[in-house]
Amino acid sequence: MKKIGVFTSGGDAPGMNACIRAVVRSALHRGLEVAGIYRGYQGLIEGDIKRLDSHSVSSIISLGGTILRSARSKDFMTVEGRKLAYQNLQKEGIDGIVAIGGDGTFTGANIFMQEFPDIKIVGCPGTIDNDLAGTDHTIGFDTAINTAMEAIDKIKDTANAHDRLFFIEVMGRDAGYIAMAAGIATGAEAVLIPEHKTNLDDLVKVLQNAHNRKKNSSIVVVAEGEEAGGAYEIADYVKSRLDIFEIKVSILGHIQRGGSPTCLERVRASRMGVAATEALLEGKSGVMIGIINNEIAYTAFEKAIKKAGDIPLKYMDLIKDLN
């Protein structure tokens, strides 16, 4: 292997730049050429590929987002699109790819490798949702939960000042990891996530009990994919059955995707980036780099994307115990 490419795909996540930097620097150190593929699979199809050197990734470790940018690619879902991508890789002399992204990224990589097995692909888990198997935490998760925690702490200040009940919606269309972590860390009365069915009448009882204990404010954290509805819908239901609170709703939104990555994030992403380069040089392909119990682990793409729905009930019990 003489030349590798690196790209970011899907939703951006803090720490992606640290991972890009690690891939580039470690590959150059091992005598490889490195190409940056801009805008993920779409850039691969359009030939938006540029040589990267050590200076190209200077001072990016602290930046959120991704210098390689990202995009959704409908063209890559077609045979014709993937063939164009392959032709561009051949034209550039790229033998292997480090793909930084989530389940959609790895699903696309799996299909591509079946059609063009001579291209080796190794993945790094870049997604704030933490919804991939084979790693304790994905790149972006730690920063996202810290961002959510800080925002909820600030909202809690105003909730306490005005005796209010706040419903705070965080990201997590299919996974409630952000909601659960942020809810525990901020002392929320309840956390509503898509993995566990919500009984809204039980939620009303929890909030009534909190009021009976003379709590002057309450926080409920809602994952955006919660099956009972979004924060506004759930707040309306509670308001119709409980008139003892002034109820407010706050949607944190894409603030959770941005910002400078935490120290833990930068270290984790750097380790994964170096491990991805090493994996390609060792001939590995079709695997995601993870860190489990502080050790580098390799998980096949098809297994990595099957984590959804596994938040243990013990975390739901923990919320009850703490309240």
Q: What is the pLDDT of residue 302?
A: 94
Report residue 2's pLDDT band, with 50, 70 and 90 as the boundaries: very high
3-class SS at 303?
Answer: helix
Q: State yes or no: pLDDT of 241 exceeds 60.
A: yes
Residues whose CB falls within 8 Å of the CB of residue 78, separated by 6 or more in sequence, listed in order: none
Q: State yes or no: pLDDT of 309 exceeds 60.
A: no
Q: State yes or no: pLDDT of 255 exceeds 90.
A: yes
Active site residues: 129
**Can you read off the two tokens belonging to residue 173?**
């269309």
3-class SS at 233?
Answer: helix
- Domains in the chain (CATH in brackets) are 3-140+261-304 (3.40.50.450), 141-257 (3.40.50.460)
CA angle centred on 291, ends 69 and 145, rounded to 5° = 60
Q: What is the pLDDT of residue 95?
A: 95
Q: Which amino acid belongs to residue 88?
A: N
DSSP letter (8 states) at residue 5 = E
The residues with which 220 forms a beta bridge, in sequence order, are: 167, 190
- Mean pLDDT calculated for residue range 53-73: 96
How many Cβ atoms are within 10 Å of 55's Cβ, its own excluded?
8
pLDDT, one tens digit per residue, over 173-197 is 888 999 999 999 999 999 999 888 8
CB-based burial label for 58 (10 Å; 0-12, 13-18, 19+): exposed
Determine contact, residues 76/41, Cβ cutoff 8 Å: yes
Q: What is the pTM of this model?
A: 0.94
Report residue 31's pLDDT band, with 50, 70 and 90 as the boundaries: very high
Q: What is the pLDDT of residue 134?
A: 95
Of 11-25, 73-87, 165-179, give the lowest mean pLDDT range: 165-179
Cα(52)–Cα(46) distance, integer angstroms: 18
Average pLDDT, the chain: 93
Cα(309)–Cα(131) distance, integer angstroms: 9
pLDDT, one tens digit per residue, over 282-305 is 999 999 999 999 999 999 999 999
Residues whose CB falls within 8 Å of the CB of residue 33, separated by 6 or more in sequence, listed in order: 2, 3, 4, 27, 51, 93
Is the pLDDT higher at 129 or at 313?
129
Q: What is the pLDDT of residue 312?
A: 66
Cα(158)–Cα(163) distance, integer angstroms: 8
pLDDT, one tens digit per residue, over 65-97 is 999 999 889 999 999 999 999 999 999 999 999
